Structure 1
Amino acid sequence: MTIDELVRRTLHDWSDEARVPSDLASRALGRRRRSRGKTFAVVAGATATVVAAVFTVPALVQGEQRDERSAIAVVTDPSPSRETVGDPDSALPGTLVAAGDTAVYSYFTWENVKTPNGREVRKLTWRLYDKGSQAYEETPWAWLDVAPGGESVAVLEQLPARRVGVIAGRGAEVRWIDLKHPAGSVQWSPDGRKLLLTNYGGNPDESYPMVNNSQKAMPPTRTGYSVVDLDSGQIGFHPVRQDENNRFATRLDFSWSTDGTLVWEHNSTPPGTKKFYDLDGNPRSAPPEVADTYQRAGMSPSGRLVATDSPDRSAVTGVKDVGTGKVTPLTPVDGYWIEQLAAWADDDRLIAWACEFKAPDNCVGSEFRNRLVLVDVDGGKAEPLTGYRENNQKPGSWEPVFSRR
């Protein structure tokens, strides 16, 4: 079977997933590579209170003009807790999930909704962590992202949206920024001073339903990406059409590079590689260590390590030392098969999706029955952070969004 056939078949298999993620090709290939290991359990923590600091950003924008009369105060956190906390007994997290410098301040569940025109829309229900109640609370937004520090939130009220809202601190009013190009997603920059919008002409979560194990491709609607500079109040739109080879991926969002100087999208050819652009819309060379990794976590905070793929069949995932080139496979540990490296907690630990391992049957029940775990970079220890998603391919499943604490 060729790589293209493999990815195409997996795209069909994943037609019930909440949204086609930007790292779809990597996950399509990663799910095919499997192996074996042993058993584990335990660990949880307590929620910590954080002190917030505020910096003022002159950035209520109308169209592409700066509004000198207004300012958005983006709340950050100068001394966040680094305690590991989670909810390992719940299928759907109820209390904060966090480790090291990274937290799940928001997540969404999804369901397929039929439309009058015979299509389906993956409707997302977003939950946001409330530090007052110390629980995740349901929100009315169609899309959201939480700024570093866990206080300020960017929101879209529909998909695609003609404006993006910024809630500068929990409980604050929404400040709206009008957009000339409608957006289907929003993401904060690593420094919390910019917003990255992926622009679409239609709803990126709309698709044709699967019929007899086949699916009609939707016409691509992505138009490009926009960078909202909250310091200057400027919006820069950069047209980048969707790759026609990604016929079944209606949502193909852009993401920030680790240092926030570039944005990237996944290539369809070859699968798993990334294409980078600067903030002015110009194509740029990919940072060599993250150009071809299938793992979402990418580069570690210090740049010393990169989440990558195992060089042998003992594991799917691994950690590469950038200086030496040595790759440490993350073989089954403490009863878990490490499926996907989702985010860095710090330079020594990663947050990963893992399924319960039991030789000779590999993952018990299914590889799609998985949970978030905290794993050491040397693969020596794993701690559960959440309960199991019984099947992440079925409606009702949840997807985390990671933010810096």
Structure 2
Amino acid sequence: MTIDELVRQTLREWSAEANVPPGDLAGAALRRRRRNRSRTFAVVAGATAAVIAAAVTAPALVQGALVQGREQLGNDAPAIAVVADPDPSRETAADPDSSPPKTLVAAGEVAAYSYYTWKEEKISADRQVRKLTWNRYDRDRGVYERTPWAWLDVARGGEAAAFLEEIPATRVGVLTGRGAEVRWIALERPASAVRWSPDATRLLLTNYSANPDESYIPVDNSQQGMPQSRIGFTVVDLNDGRSVFRTVAVDPDAGFDHRNDFGWSDDGTLVWESHAVMPVTRKYYDLEGRARPAPSKEAETYQQAGLSPGGTRLAVESPDRSAVVGIQDLSTGRTVPLTPVSGYWIEQSVAWADDERLVVWACEQKGTDDCVGGEFRNRLLLVGLNGGEAVPLSGFRENSQQEDESWVPVFTAR
């Protein structure tokens, strides 16, 4: 079996296993890779690593100030650690005793202004649909509150929100602040995902002709894939309400049988879709729907955190079996594994708090390569790159693969 064939097969297995909602697709990939490490490590580490959280969590945009005076990573770098917040207005906010969190989770330049849970609902004898329940942080009350919306994205700063009432939807709702009236914008084509631009002036909607979250009910641990229904994307300019639809054909080699939503590039000039076959993990398009080269090395990693705010480091797959996540110094090309710290095995990078710290998913370590209570029992941690302690940001998810037992944070710039 070739690398491409293995990647494609593995991606389809992941899709059939859980029809993972976009925000935790990378986590599922990482965890599956650990389960099958002895069989596929050498190939998957270099070719697939983990599937990026492509469909929703690109809002983990990190626009932080750089922490000056830190040494570049080297092969002899000490264990990862927490570095104090350089800006008091960016103090770490954590709820280490709750899962899902009740109060805000934030660190450095990013905050989880929303999170979702999911469940499968049977809709016919052989079909089911995955439905997400979204919770949004209420700054006035200081807690997360459940919303009635089928899809949600919160703009940088945490005040404005865009949402869909159903999947798919023929209009998108926009709230510019607490207590504001909903602004409705009609869509030319139905959409099943919405995402704010980095400057919060535009919306990017992924258009589908059918519900991408429908699937056949698995039989004998296998699942028949549904026809791909994505038809393109729509960009809405919130200044004048004008929307433009662009047709983008589905790449048959992308490796996704269900959702493959579009995300914004960091500067908002391009959009991207996930691609499962290395070395290209993202395919980019201009706002006319024309293919364009990737603007940065971020397209070469499946790690959700991607490029650091200052553009000097990249979260990648670990170069050896001592870890899952590695940090690549882009000036030297050297990659250092994020090895266990403070009794935690790091399973997945989530977002950069700043150039020196990462938000990650991690489990309590048991032995050399095992997790207390299983690898699905994990929590959010804030870890640094220069040795020391790790700070818990949330309680433990007891099972991130089972409905009603999982929650997935969506990080956005503060």
Q: Same fold (TM over 0.5)?
A: yes
**What aligned pairs does 1:80-229 form with structure 2 within 5 A after superposition?**
81-116=89-124, 118-229=126-237
1:178-212, Cα deviation, whole Å (9 max, x unpaired): 00011100011111111111111111111111110
| Structure 1: distance between partners of 2:194 and 2:125 | 27
| In 2: Cα distance, 1:310 partner to 1:171 partner | 46
Q: Could you tell me which residue of structure 2 aligns to residue 239 of structure 1?
A: 247
> What is aligned with 1:44?
none
The one-letter code of the counterpart of 1:265 is: E
d(CA) in 1 for partners of 2:353, 2:278: 29
The match for 1:326 is 334
Following superposition, the deviation at residue 87 of structure 1 comes to 1.0
TM alignment of 1:71-82, pairs within 5 A: 81-82=89-90
Do the aligned partners of 2:382 and 2:390 also contact (CA within 8 Å) in 1? yes
Say which SS state the counterpart of residue 9 (structure 2) adopts. helix
Residue 291 of structure 1: SS of its match in structure 2? helix
Paired residue secondary structure (1:306): strand
In structure 1, the residue matched to 2:69 is none
Q: Distance in 2 between matches of 1:272 and 1:380?
A: 34
- Identify if the C-alpha distance between structure 1 residues 378 and 32 changes in structure 2 by more than 3 Å, giving closer, same or farther: farther
> Are residue 388 (structure 1) and residue 393 (structure 2) matched?
no
Deviation per residue, 1:131-152 (Å, 9 max, x gap): 1211111110000110111001
Residue 291 of structure 1 is aligned with which of 288, 299, 307?
299
Per-residue deviation, 1:97? 0.5
- Asked if structure 1 preserves the Cα contact closer than 8 Å seen for 2:99 and 2:397, the reply is yes
Aligned partners of 2:105 and 2:111 also within 8 Å: yes
Aligned length: 362
Q: Select between 124-133 and 22-31 the one with higher mean Cα deviation.
A: 22-31
Deviation at 1:33, TM superposition (A): 4.4
Deviations 1:347-392 (A, max 9, x none): 1111111111121451222222111111113464421101111110
Cα distance change, pair 264–112 in 1 and its aligned pair in 2 (3 A) = same
Does the CA contact (< 8 Å) of 2:7 and 2:277 recur in 1?
Answer: no
* Aligned equivalents of 1:233, 1:10: Cα separation in 2: 37
1:375 to 372, 379, 383: 383
1:328 deviates by: 2.1
Q: Which residue matches 1:40?
A: none
Greater Cα offset, 384-393 or 250-259: 250-259
- The structure in which a higher percent of residues are strand is 1
CA distance, structure 1, for counterparts of residue 23 and residue 230 of structure 2: 13
Q: In the aligned structure 2, how far is the partner of 1:22 from the partner of 1:129? A: 17
The one-letter amino acid paired with 1:289 is: K
Taking structure 1 as reference, are residues 22 and 219 closer, same or farther at Cα in structure 2, changes over 3 Å only?
A: farther
> Offset at 1:168?
0.9
Post-superposition CA distance 1:204-224 (Å, at most 9, x none): 111111110111110001011
Q: Which residue of 1 aligns with 2:316?
A: 308
Partner amino acid, structure 1, of 2:407: W
More off after superposition, 118-127 vs 21-30:
21-30
Partner of 2:22: 21
Check whether the contact 1:351–1:372 (CA below 8 A) recurs between aligned residues: yes
Alpha carbons 1:295, 1:307 under 8 Å: kept: yes
TM-score by length of 2: 0.81
The reply on whether 1:282 has 2:290 as its aligned counterpart is yes
Secondary structure of 1:32 counterpart: helix
SS at match of 1:298: coil
CA deviation after TM superposition for structure 1 residue 318, in Å? 1.3
Structure 2: distance between partners of 1:265 and 1:212? 31
Q: Distance in 1 between matches of 2:178 and 2:392?
A: 29
Distance in 2 of aligned mates of 1:284 and 1:378: 37
What residue in structure 2 maps to residue 402 of structure 1? 411
User: 1:256 Cα shift?
Assistant: 1.5
Determine the C-alpha separation between the residues in 1 that align with 2:101 and 2:162.
Answer: 22
Cα 1:268–1:26 shift into 2, 3 Å? farther
Once residues 6 and 267 of structure 1 are traced to their aligned partners in structure 2, the CA distance between those partners, rounded to angstroms, is 10
Paired amino acid for 1:218? M
What CA distance in whole angstroms lies between the structure 2 residues aligned with 1:369 and 1:11? 24
Q: RMSD over aligned Cα, in angstroms? A: 2.4
Deviation for aligned residue 1:300: 1.3
Shift of 1:304: 1.7
Question: Taking structure 1 as reference, are residues 5 and 22 closer, same or farther at Cα in structure 2, changes over 3 Å only?
Answer: farther
Moved more, 105-114 or 364-373: 364-373
Change in 2 beyond 3 A, CA 1:220/1:117: farther
Question: Identity percentage over the alignment?
Answer: 57
State yes or no: 1:363 paired with 2:371: yes
User: 2:45: which partner in 1?
Assistant: none
- Please give the secondary structure, in 2, of the residue aligned with 1:290: helix
User: Which residues of structure 2 form unaligned runs of 5+?
Assistant: 38-86
Q: 1:250 aligns with which of 230, 254, 258?
A: 258
What CA distance in whole angstroms lies between the structure 2 residues aligned with 1:203 and 1:80? 44
User: In structure 1, what is the Cα distance between the partners aligned to 2:281 and 2:222?
Assistant: 26
| Larger RCO, structures 1/2 (Cα 8 Å, 6+ apart) | 2
Shift of 1:229: 1.8
